[in-house]
Each structure stands twice: as C-alpha cells, then as structure tokens.
Amino acid sequence: MDTSEQMVVKRVRRRRRHSIEEKLKIVEKTLEAGASVAEVARAHGLNANQVFTWRRKYRQGQMVKGGPKLLPVQIVRAAGSKEAHPHDQFLGQIRIELRKANVLVSGSVDVDALRLVLEKLVG
C-alpha cells in the first residue's frame, strides 16, 4: 500500500496592470501603417482582443494621459428667457447626454454624488 503523499503545485497567474502610458504606446503601434494588431499584441504578451478593447477606448477618448477627458459644452438659454438675471448662476438645469443615458440636473446638486453617477455611466 502506497502511503506517500503527492504535492500538487498550482501556478497562480497574477493579473498584469498596464499604465495608461503603456496602453497608449501599444495602441499607437497598432495604428501605424501596415501594423497588425495580432502581431503587436503577441509582441507584448497580450491577447489581441484586449488590444482591440484598448483601441476602441482610445478612439472614444476614454484613454487620456495626464487627466480627465474634457467634453464639449453647449450653453443654451431656456425657452422664453429674454435676458440674463443676476441669479442665473443658481438657476436652470444641466442636461448631460451620454450614450448609455441622459442626465438632467436641476437646482442645487451634491458635486460628489454627480461625479459618482457620471463616472459610473462613462466608465
């Protein structure tokens, strides 16, 4: 009867984290003339699908080095409004149109709560 114990060693794969600079460098290599996404991905030890995801985010402006993405803003005077009032800075609404949802903000708003909502919708 064999009473010896066998030890099983499992390799633990750790998820690699790439900085935004690394991602941008890899994505920009795929955008060069004649570049193959699969070859660039392979050269960096990545799955091509991951690189395609980064490219999509890059094109949508979601991969920005050094700070938050700025969005275009359009100021529209409310219907029926004839002239600016001294209290206009406290009145009105903010309408934010995103792909996933439209957000309408009226009155006094908790800035941190609004930031959290927008990060969840954009991210």
**Per-domain boundaries in the chain:** 20-59, 89-122
Buried b (16+ CB within 10 A) or exposed e, 69-96: eeeeeeeeeeeeeeeeeeeeeeebeeeb
pLDDT the model gives residue 10: 72
Q: Is the pLDDT of residue 82 over 80?
A: no
Mean pLDDT in residue range 14-40 = 90
Is the pLDDT higher at 96 or at 50? 50
The CA R_g of the chain, rounded to the nearest whole Å, is 24
pLDDT in tens, 39-63: 999 999 999 999 999 999 888 878 7
Task: Give the C-alpha separation, 58 to 24, whole Å.
Answer: 8
The pLDDT value recorded for residue 91 is 62
Looking at mean pLDDT, say which of 55-59, 76-80, 85-89, 95-99 comes out highest: 55-59
Which pair of tokens denotes residue 6? Answer: 């066998």
**Which token pair is 55?**
């490219």
Checking if the pLDDT of 109 tops 70, the result is: yes
Q: Which residues contact 20 (CB under 8 A, 6 or more apart)?
A: 63, 64, 65
> Average pLDDT of 72-88?
60
Q: Tell me the two tokens of residue 23.
A: 């991602």
Distance CA 31, CA 8 (A): 44
Task: Please give the model's pTM, rounded to 2 decimal places.
Answer: 0.46
